[in-house]
Chains A and B, each alone.
Chain A
């Protein structure tokens, strides 16, 4: 037997000695180890403190607004006319615009995103997914202003062919386009969740005589449910916060209505409108920005809480 790999007498390999030599440099790194948590903590503190700062500002300015406009009037008012001689500040028109556009977006994005994820993770061959995934990524990388433009100049005219009563500015078209924008996010997050279900579980189900669809429906999706739902919730958050598409394609009518063929304004679009006009600092309309932003913040926070709760509740351990 050859013993080439073993040290010979002329070339002794003394691991202990080498470790002893390395001890000096190790001392330094051990000391470093002690301060590293503090360094990392202070870096983390930057983002935490920034968040706190933003919330604090929002809160103080919002409270200021509620000193002028009673909170109850704001939350239940169905009329939003900040520029009237006798201005009215009801937030419900903006909430209806925001919720309706997000619902439309999810009606489009959830099924298409999930189907895409199912196709990519369960059915597509390696070759196909190598082509499709980059396309999805490109779709995800398109700036939202381009989508807004697309909604206004392409989707709305197209929809008007089928829905005669559709106004030039309406909430339906930007809702649909927001959905299209969110599809890649839902598809890729759900696909991640589904691909991480171990193959051995699929095999177990197939070996019991399941078809591929049954395996997907009864094993893969339940096992990946928390990830899938999290992707939906993130999609909703994204839709709630989306600004450009609705600003461009939905006009600025502050209607409290449920008619999707009409123009509606979302909270984000309202903020754009007011900030791009000349709202004097300290005016009521200026403070209303903060109140609206606060509501938007609460909405997305709520989504995050729901996402956490849901993904814990539906987690299937494996």
Chain B
């Protein structure tokens, strides 16, 4: 028996001990949802990702930080294969979602994107009504019943903390909303198909502090159910909302650890320099 399994068993026995004593378990065994091994990405001649290994566990918020152009968005877009939309992109290495390699010939991209939602840097609602924006996902995945859709729309908008602001004007265009409201609408749109993971690429970079605060609240809330991977340029934000932080530099993963450690006790001097604003 390997030491790892032994450790595992240990934790599990400890768990059941705790449970039998009626206490909250001290440590949960978390499932790994994303596994990245030796990932390389090229855009034509540009080598954007240079051999990254990065495991992501369920119900965690992972923040990705790093200077502009270091490959954060590229990495995020790889996780739901949106990166393939770029004409001459080349990918090597392995990314597995729930144990299955997503680059396999037989892997169903639509299925992957149904499970893994994405929120973009710039709010991008469809030029449709607020209602239709949220109902879009469920509709394309086969939900037609009006009552069910109504229910999904309301719940999703509530989860995204925007219901009260829009409940009286669900039929008006999404473009009548403010930027911050549009972004929360996009989050609601994403929640409507109940993904397991949400990828967010600088979701608050275009927003005022109040909208930013609301979205951070939301992320904290969502963490209970979803895994969230968020790219941010805002160090305080990373520190406030994430459990783990990955520091990217020039296509490489320099450091990946508990957020606490990254910010208080980084093991690489470059991480420290970046966090303290000495470069980037």
Residues of chain A touching chain B, judged by Cβ–Cβ distance below 8 Å, are 125-126, 198, 200-201, 203-211, 214, 218-219, 222-223, 316-318
Do B127 and A209 touch (CB < 8 A)? no
Q: How far is the CB of A264 from chain B (nearest CB, A)?
A: 43
Given contacts A126-B87, A203-B120, contact A211 B110 (CB under 8 A): yes
Question: In chain B, residues 81-119, which have Cβ atoms closer than 8 Å to a Cβ of chain A?
Answer: 82, 85, 87, 110-114, 117-118
Interface string of B131-170 (1 = CB under 8 A from A): 0000011011100000000000000000000000000000
Do B127 and A222 touch (CB < 8 A)? yes
A-B pairs with beta carbons under 8 Å apart, 20 shown? A198-B124, A203-B85, A204-B120, A204-B126, A204-B186, A207-B80, A207-B118, A207-B190, A208-B136, A208-B140, A208-B190, A209-B193, A218-B136, A219-B126, A222-B128, A316-B127, A316-B128, A317-B127, A317-B175, A318-B175
Q: Which chain A residue lies CB-closest to B136?
A: A208
Given contacts A200-B120, A223-B126, contact A205 B80 (CB under 8 A): no
Residues of chain B lying within 8 A (CB to CB) of residue A205: 126, 136
Do A209 and B137 touch (CB < 8 A)? yes
Complex CA–CA separation, A205 to B133 (angstroms) = 10
Residues of chain B touching chain A, judged by Cβ–Cβ distance below 8 Å, are 80, 82, 85, 87, 110-114, 117-118, 120, 122, 124-128, 136-137, 139-141, 173, 175, 186, 189-190, 193
Q: Which of A198, A209, A316, A317 contacts B114 (CB 8 A)?
A: A209
Interface of A is mostly: helix
Complex CA–CA separation, A220 to B110 (angstroms) = 18
Residues of chain A lying within 8 A (CB to CB) of residue B87: 125-126
Do B82 and A209 touch (CB < 8 A)? no
Q: Which chain A residue lies CB-closest to B118?
A: A207
Q: How far is the CB of A125 from chain B (nearest CB, A)?
A: 8
Complex CA–CA separation, A119 to B189 (angstroms) = 28
Residues of chain B lying within 8 A (CB to CB) of residue A210: 110, 140
Residues of chain B lying within 8 A (CB to CB) of residue A126: 87
Complex CA–CA separation, A203 to B118 (angstroms) = 10
Residues of chain B lying within 8 A (CB to CB) of residue A204: 120, 124-126, 186, 189
Do A223 and B127 touch (CB < 8 A)? yes
Residues of chain B lying within 8 A (CB to CB) of residue A125: 87
Residues of chain A lying within 8 A (CB to CB) of residue B136: 205, 208, 218
Complex CA–CA separation, A210 to B110 (angstroms) = 6
Residues of chain A lying within 8 A (CB to CB) of residue B113: 206-209
Complex CA–CA separation, A280 to B110 (angstroms) = 72
Q: Which chain B residue lies CB-closest to A199?
A: B85
Do B124 and A214 touch (CB < 8 A)? no
Do A207 and B82 touch (CB < 8 A)? yes
Q: Which chain B residue lies CB-closest to A200?
A: B124
Residues of chain B lying within 8 A (CB to CB) of residue A316: 127-128, 173
Do A317 and B173 touch (CB < 8 A)? yes
Residues of chain B lying within 8 A (CB to CB) of residue A211: 110
Given contacts A200-B120, A203-B85, A204-B120, contact A209 B126 (CB under 8 A): no
Residues of chain A lying within 8 A (CB to CB) of residue B110: 209-211
Residues of chain B lying within 8 A (CB to CB) of residue A223: 126-127
Q: How far is the CB of B26 from chain A (nearest CB, A)?
A: 37
Residues of chain A lying within 8 A (CB to CB) of residue B139: 218
Q: How far is the CB of A210 from chain B (nearest CB, A)?
A: 5
Q: How far is the CB of A182 from chain B (nearest CB, A)?
A: 28
Complex CA–CA separation, A154 to B273 (angstroms) = 77
Do B141 and A209 touch (CB < 8 A)? yes
Residues of chain A lying within 8 A (CB to CB) of residue B120: 200, 203-204, 207
Do B82 and A203 touch (CB < 8 A)? yes
Q: How far is the CB of A2 from chain B (nearest CB, A)?
A: 21
Given contacts A211-B110, A318-B175, contact A206 B85 (CB under 8 A): yes
